[in-house]
Amino acid sequence: MGSEANKENDAIISCENLVKIYKTDDIEVVALQGLDLEVRRGELMAIVGNSGSGKSTLLNMLGGLDKPSAGSLYIDGRNLLKFTEKDYIDYKRNVVGFVWQNNARNLIPYLTAQQNVEMPMLLKGVKERRQRARELLTKVGLEHRMTSRLDQMSGGEQQRVAIAIALANKPKILLADEPTGSVDTKTSKQILDIFKELNRTENLTIVIVTHDVKLAKHIDRVVAIRDGKASSEIIRKRSYADELNELGGFESGNEEEKEEEITTEELAVLDRSGRVQLPKEYLDSLGIKGGSKVKVELNEDAGEIVVFKSD
């Protein structure tokens, strides 16, 4: 394909210096302060961060639910900052699917699971809706609940219907904002397994915003956001033993043993202007306050840049 659209070595999402400012009355909130992020096609990744750090704001920008104030945002080769209202509608219908914590937002309680999944296809005029709805519900493990009314299903089951709905229009990207925020640990694991399966079998790109540390532990790439900027990134590397297991189908060990075999590396993110956010714990332990001056030294031979507290 080698077109212009693919020049960002297969990044399906590419944001650079993304800024979002909310203006309410006379107050301005800078929710995203120049955020850089790239997501590869077919990747499954998570975004974590404290409350108010800008996670939902970012997801809303990626989902075309709101417009960035500045910076650049390319998704699937399209420049979202140049979008017209019509482009946004088309984008939301054809490129992204959305799953929220509170699924009441896209579910109709008195309809069955199947009718709920058929709804977005009806709006789009898709043929063979029934067949497709059944396929999608089977994918999320609800083949036995197709004709149940939504208000007769558990929270976890409703969340799975919401995932099926998000997939109805065959999106390229699935965005999930706290998808396991209101379910128990077991259901949360089931939902993650569905995401992993969809990612593996359909090459669907998935971005999950989560507070759930247990969930994030099972995701290979986790980007942490602080004050509206990407601050650090955890990359999980599978152990050699795990890779062998996957290839050869050997008996895998129990979950706890497996977790120990996985090594992780946490990296700070250097933005495109060369800025880096130092981990808050490091600053706290040396008693360095934000806004104070520090000494920065280059140690070329050792390949180091060292930051010193100055008095």
Chain residues in the site for ligand ATP (CB under 6 A): 22, 24, 29, 31, 49, 51-57
Cross-strand pairs, 19: 33, 70
User: Which residues share a beta bridge with 205?
Assistant: 173
SS3 152: helix
Q: With respect to ligand ATP, which residue has the nearer C-beta, 32 or 95?
A: 32
114 binds, among Mg ion, ligand ATP, none (CB under 5 to 8 A by kind): none
159 lies in the site for Mg ion, by CB under 5 A: no
Spell out where 53-163 has E strands.
Answer: 70-75, 78-79, 96-100
Q: Report the distance separating Cα 37 and Cα 191, nearest Å.
A: 25
**In terms of Cα–Cα distance, which of 41, 14, 54, 47 is closest to 178?**
47
Of 47 and 96, which CB lies nearer to ligand ATP in the complex structure? 47
Q: Which residues does residue 18 pair with via DSSP β-bridges, in sequence order?
A: 35
- Does residue number 56 form part of the binding site for Mg ion (CB under 5 A)? yes
- Between residue 246 and residue 275, which ones bind Mg ion under the rule CB under 5 A? none
The residue type at 3: S
CB under 5 A: which stretch of 37-45, 51-59, 89-97, 134-142 binds Mg ion? 51-59
Stretch that binds Mg ion, among 19-27, 32-40, 49-57, 248-256 (CB under 5 A): 49-57
Q: If DSSP codes are grouped into helix, strand and coil, which group holds residue 159?
A: helix
Closer to Mg ion by CB, 54 or 120: give it. Answer: 54
Radius of gyration, alpha carbons of the chain: 21
Residues linked to residue 48 through DSSP beta bridges, in sequence order? 224
112 binds Mg ion (CB under 5 A): no
Burial of 250 (0-12, 13-18, 19+ CB in 10 A): exposed
Between 54 and 120, name the residue whose CB sits nearer to ligand ATP. Answer: 54
Identify which of residues 43 and 177 has a Cβ nearer to ligand ATP in the complex.
Answer: 177
CB of 212 vs ligand ATP, minimal distance in Å:
11
Query: Does 210 contact Mg ion by CB under 5 A?
Result: no
With CB cut-offs between 5 and 8 Å by kind, which of Mg ion, ligand ATP, none does residue 155 bind?
A: none
The site for Mg ion (CB under 5 A) is made up of: 56
